[in-house]
Structure 1
Amino acid sequence: MKGGKRTPVQAVNLWVRRQPPKMKAFLAVVTGMAAILFLRMVVKDHDNLFVAAEAVHAIGIAVLIYKLTKEKTCAGLSLKTQELTAIFLAVRLYCSFVMEYDIHTLLDTATLATTLWVIYMIRFRLKSTYMEEKDNFAIYYVVVPCAVLSLVVHPTTVHNIVNRISWAFCVYLEAVSVLPQLRVMQNTKIVEPFTAHYVFALGVARFLSCAHWVLQVFDTHGRLLTALGYGLWPSMVLFSEVVQTFILADFCYYYVKSLVGGQLVLRLPSGVV
Structure 2
Amino acid sequence: MRPARNPIHIASVWVRRQPPKVKAFMAVVLGMLTLVVLRFIVHDHDNLFVAAEALHSIGILVLIYKLTKERTCAGLSLKSQELTAIFLAVRLYCSFVMEFDIHTLLDLATLATTLWVIYMIRFKLKSSYMEDKDNFALYYVIAPCAVLALLIHPSTSHHFVNRVFWAFCVYLEAVSVLPQLRVMQNTKIVEPFTAHYVFALGIARFLSCAHWVLQVLDSRGHLLVALGYGLWPSMVLISEIVQTFILADFCYYYVKSVLGGQLVIRLPSGVV
TM-score (norm 2): 0.98
Q: Deviations over 1:137-171 (max 9, x none)?
A: 00100001101101110000011111101100000
> Counterpart of 2:72 in 1: which secondary structure?
coil
CA distance in 2, matches of 1:167, 1:48: 22
Question: SS where residue 77 of structure 1 aligns?
Answer: coil
Residues 95-244 of structure 1: pairs in structure 2 closer than 5 A: 95-244=94-243
Q: Deviations over 1:67-115 (max 9, x none)?
A: 0011100000000000000110111111111111222111111111111
* Secondary structure of 1:141 counterpart: helix
SS in 1 for 2:14: helix
Q: Deviations over 1:225-259 (max 9, x none)?
A: 11111111001001100001000000000000000
In structure 2, what is the Cα distance between the partners aligned to 1:12 and 1:66?
A: 34
Matched, 1:25 2:21: no
Once the two structures are superposed, residues 104-135 of structure 1 have per-residue CA deviations (whole angstroms, 9 ceiling, x without a partner) of: 11111111111110000000000000000000
CA contact (8 A) 2:50 2:103 kept: no
Distance 2:64 2:214 in 1: 32
* Alignment-derived partner of residue 63 in structure 1: 62
Residue 6 (structure 1) shift? 2.7
Q: Give the gaps of 5 or more residues in structure 2.
A: none
Percent identity of equivalent pairs: 80
In structure 2, C-alpha distance between the alignment counterparts of 1:82 and 1:52, rounded to whole Å: 20
Distance across 2 between alignment mates of 1:141 and 1:249? 22
Deviation of 1:266 after TM superposition, in Å, equals 0.7
Partners of 2:72 and 2:137 lie apart in 1 by 23
More off after superposition, 127-136 vs 220-229: 220-229
Equivalent position of 2:270 in the other structure: 271
SS of match in other structure, 2:116: helix
Cα distance in 1 for residues equivalent to 2:102 and 2:152: 27
| One-letter code aligned to 2:204 | A
Equivalent in the alignment of 1:50: 49
Superposed CA RMSD: 1.0
Aligned counterparts of 1:43 and 1:90: Cα–Cα separation in 2: 30
2:33 is the counterpart of 1:38:
no
Correspondence for 2:73: 74
| SS in structure 2 at match of 1:101 | coil
Distance across 2 between alignment mates of 1:4 and 1:167: 57
CA contact 2:92–2:107 (8 Å) conserved in 1: yes
**Per-residue CA distance 1:196-237 (angstroms, 9 max, x = gap):** 000000000000110011001111111111111111100100
TM-score, with structure 1 as normaliser: 0.97
Runs of 4+ off more than 3 Å: none
Letter in 1 for 2:114: T
Aligned mates of 1:22, 1:201 — CA distance in 2: 26
The CA distance in 2 between the partners of 1:47 and 1:128, in whole Å, is 42
For residues 55 and 94 of structure 1, the distance between their equivalents in structure 2, rounded to whole angstroms, comes to: 20
Distance between the aligned counterparts of 1:222 and 1:236, measured in 2?
14
Deviation at 1:59, TM superposition (A): 1.0
Q: Distance in 2 between matches of 1:72 and 1:37?
A: 43
Distance 1:106 1:158 in 2: 24
Letter in 2 for 1:219: D
What one-letter code is carried by the residue in structure 1 that aligns with 2:15? V
Measure, in 2, the Cα distance between the counterparts of 1:134 and 1:72: 19
Q: Distance in 2 between matches of 1:27 and 1:147?
A: 34
Aligned length: 271
In the other structure, the counterpart of 1:94 is 93
